[in-house]
Each structure stands twice: as C-alpha cells, then as structure tokens.
Amino acid sequence: MINNNKSKPIVYAVSDSIGETAELVIRAAMIQFNSGKVDIRRIPYVTDKEYVEDIIEEAKKTPNSAIVCTIILPEVRQYLLHLAKENQISIVDLMGPMMDSFSKITEIKPHLEPGLVHRIDEDYFKKMEAIEFAVQYDDGKDPRGLSRADVVLIGVSRTSKTPLAMFLAHKRLKVANLPLVPEVSPPDELFKLAPRSIIGLSISPEKLLDIRQERLRALGLNSDATYAQRSRIMNEIKYAEKIMEKLGCPKIDVSNKAVEEIATSILEIIKKGER
C-alpha cells in the first residue's frame, strides 16, 4: 500500500476525510524538528476497521513511525487507537479529545460526519460566487449573464429586483435582474430562456407611485419628476405586463410584501419547476 523510506521516520496523517488538517498539524509541529527529516504520508478516507488494520500493518514495518489522526467516526477512531497501543505505535488523536471537551461545555452531541468542514467551505464559496454573480449582472448590466442565471428577475424600476437578487444569492442561487423600460427593448437572450426560469415582478400603480416619490424626496429631488408621474408609471406597468405575457413567465405581485416574503414565493416557484 505505502512504500517504506528507511532513511526517515514516517508520520502517517490518517483521516476519514481528506487528511488535510492532520497533515497541517504535523507540518506545524515538525518545523520545530527540521521538518525535512520526517516523511509525512497522508492516508485519507479511512472509514472502516479493515483499512485501519492495513495502516497498522504498514506502520509496523517502520521502526520509527507515528500516527496522527483526525478520525471523526468513534468506532473507527477507537479501533485505530486500540491497535496502535497494542502494537506500541505512537499515536496522536487530534479530534477525539476536542470533541469530548466541546460536547461537555456545549451539552450538544457532535454530528459525527466526516468531511463536514469541507462541505461548509464549499457552501460558503458557492454563496460568494452567487453574490458576485448578482452584482455583476445587476440591473441588466450584461445580457450574457441571463443564460447563466438560475433565475432572472424582471420588472419596472423599484420592484425590489436588486435586494431580491442579493437575498437569493445567500441561498446560493445565481440571479440576474433586468429592468423593463418602454424605451429599451429587452435583449434577445431573455426570449431564449425557459419561461419558468424568469420571474416577473408586478406592482400596483399606487404603491409604485408612493415608492418613487419617496425615493426622489430621499435624493433631494422634486417629487413631481416624470419618473414619479402617474401617467409614466401606468405606461411602464402596461409595458412590463405585455412583456411578461409574451414570455409566459410566472408573476408575483410585490406591492405590499417584504423581500423575504417575495423570495419565499420565488423559491416555491423554482421548487415546483424542478419536480
């Protein structure tokens, strides 16, 4: 299984995951002992007793060997500790004592799932990727992002497209959003998408009028600007509804709903589309 190197002591980094943590700890310690004089052998995915026996047999062949383990599974860890002690092989258990201590102080039982930290890391990076996507393809900046999105939000200005995109990004969904403006035709890419991958955000004229007037006041601008005129708003809403009907996409009325409530509706639509 593993080639012997008689010129150096061997330290086996044994794990029921990828063994990265065990190896890092070994290297951190070995730096104090001229680390080049020790051979580190990583042995990952040790999840059964038979594999443990193979490791012990291999370690027995080298007079100067030790084991450092990060085994989460209790039965496998205990068996490794037992066989190492029985065969007088030096072993350091990194995870067992820590999990026992944490269980006592938190009064919570550990999950006992190998590789959980790497799944958490993967989840984090997926979330960051989705957030970057939402920023890059916000407000129709680049229509090329439409085909790469998990969901595309469309609607007139001030229908919560951007905050919704960011909220959904934290759910690891890649979201692009596109404003519908009568003077600007939607990109061709939009009409090539599956209807259920597009969510139309509709809103009542009265609510939109209030939102836009408040927005202008917050910016120190005249609330009578064209942007917040009822005739302009009616024209925009009519245009947006026409585009949504043409696309045949699901619609959500966002008039009196919080972002969280709208996002929940979007997630339900996506879930139904996956069935």
Helix, strand or coil for residue 160?
Answer: coil
Q: What is the pLDDT of residue 128?
A: 87
Whether 2 is covered by a domain: the verdict is: no
Q: Starting at the edge strand that comes first in sequence, how are the strands of the sheet with 65-70 ordered? A: 39-43, 10-15, 65-70, 90-93
Whether 212 is covered by a domain: the verdict is: yes
Supply 253's token pair.
Answer: 């009325």
Residues 110 and 137 in one domain: no
Q: Kindly tell me the sign of the dihedral angle through the C-alpha atoms of 12, 15, 18, 20.
A: negative
Domain limit, last residue, from 96, 114, 132: 114
- What is the spatial distance between Cα 23 and Cα 137, in angstroms, rounded to a whole number? 40
Whether 223 is covered by a domain: the verdict is: yes
- What is the spatial distance between Cα 214 and Cα 73, in angstroms, rounded to a whole number? 58
How many domains is the chain built from? 2
Whether 209 is covered by a domain: the verdict is: yes
Whether 1 is covered by a domain: the verdict is: no
Query: Is residue 144 within 8 Å of 190, Cβ to Cβ?
Result: no
Whether 21 is covered by a domain: the verdict is: yes
Residues 21 and 151 in one domain: no
Residues 178 and 263 in one domain: yes
pLDDT digits (tens, 9 = 90+) for 64-86: 899 999 998 889 999 999 999 99
Low-confidence ranges of the chain (pLDDT < 70): 1-7, 34-36, 115-121, 275
Q: What is the pLDDT of residue 33?
A: 78
Residues 153 and 215 in one domain: yes
Whether 181 is covered by a domain: the verdict is: yes
CATH at 89: 3.40.50
The full DSSP string for 113-154 is -TTHHHHHHHHHHHHHHHHHHHHHTGGGS-GGGGGG-SEEEE
Q: What is the DSSP letter of 62?
A: -
Q: What pTM did the predictor assign?
A: 0.60
Q: What is the pLDDT of residue 7?
A: 63
Q: What is the pLDDT of residue 3?
A: 46
Whether 92 is covered by a domain: the verdict is: yes
Q: Which residue range forms the structural domain that includes residue 85?
A: 10-114
- What is the spatial distance between Cα 197 and Cα 192, in angstroms, rounded to a whole number? 11
- What is the spatial distance between Cα 16 and Cα 47, in angstroms, rounded to a whole number? 5
Q: What is the pLDDT of residue 178?
A: 97
Residues 156 and 267 in one domain: yes
Nearest to 1 by CA among 57, 71, 68: 57
- What is the spatial distance between Cα 28 and Cα 35, in angstroms, rounded to a whole number? 9
Q: What is the pLDDT of residue 271?
A: 87
Q: What is the pLDDT of residue 122?
A: 73
Residues 237 and 197 in one domain: yes
Q: Phi and psi for 122 in degrees, rounded to 5?
A: -65, -40
Residues 101 and 163 in one domain: no
Rg (CA), the chain: 29
Residues 65 and 88 in one domain: yes
Q: What is the pLDDT of residue 1?
A: 47
Domain limit, last residue, from 114, 133, 163: 114
pLDDT digits (tens, 9 = 90+) for 214-270: 989 888 888 778 889 999 999 999 999 999 999 999 999 999 999 999 999 999 999
Domain limit, last residue, from 67, 83, 114: 114
Residues 104 and 129 in one domain: no
Residues 138 and 88 in one domain: no
Residues 137 and 107 in one domain: no
Residues 81 and 135 in one domain: no
Supply 239's token pair.
Answer: 């245009």
